[in-house]
Amino acid sequence: MRQRGLTLLEVLIATTISTLVVGSAIWLATEGLGTSRRTGERVEASEEYLLLAKRLRAELSCTYYSPLFADSFQGSEEELSFCYPTGKGLRYVRWVSNAEGIWQQVREPGARQWRPPVKLSSNWQGKFFYLDQDGGWQNTWHSGEEESLPLMVRLELTGPGTRELTVALAAARAIPY
């Protein structure tokens, strides 16, 4: 009578094949998780960029220049401060970019103190630049010295990639008093 069973060689081959199949499945699963995480980070960075763009455009579209408020628009590479009228008075806004991200701080009409800063982005850092009347980009701006607003504000962002956000300011937003 013949015994039925597997030889040692058959067991070794089956074990090797099983190990390769299981190892490949584990590798594919970990690669898929890594890709999913990276995609999520990219989506988050893109959403933050769109939020920054929308918010900066909306607020800068309201800003104006008046000789009575010489400090109505000031900027450096790291900080941008401006004000704009609301139904209750002037709203002051400050954008700051540092190694921790991009922050916004607001002082509402009639308030004596600034609200605590709000972090708008932790993925991006940036530098502000200002387009003068002669078409040159400056790294600082003071409306009291220039007696006007810059034509445009550019925010060069670095983080997960490099992006540039340019906002045109309405040239007619000058109030003579």
pLDDT, tens only, 36-81: 787 777 888 888 888 888 888 888 888 877 777 777 889 999 999 9
Quick one: tokens of 29? 């699963």
Tally of structural domains, the chain:
1
pTM to 2 decimal places: 0.72
pLDDT in tens, 156-174: 888 887 888 788 775 445 4
Q: Which domain holds residue 160?
A: 1-177
* Two structure tokens written together for 177: 């008093």
The amino acid occupying position 121 is S
| CA 85/CA 173 separation, integer angstroms | 11
> CB of 73 within 8 A of CB of 143?
yes
- What's residue 170's pLDDT? 58
Q: What is the pLDDT of residues 122-139, one digit of tens each?
A: 888 889 999 988 889 999
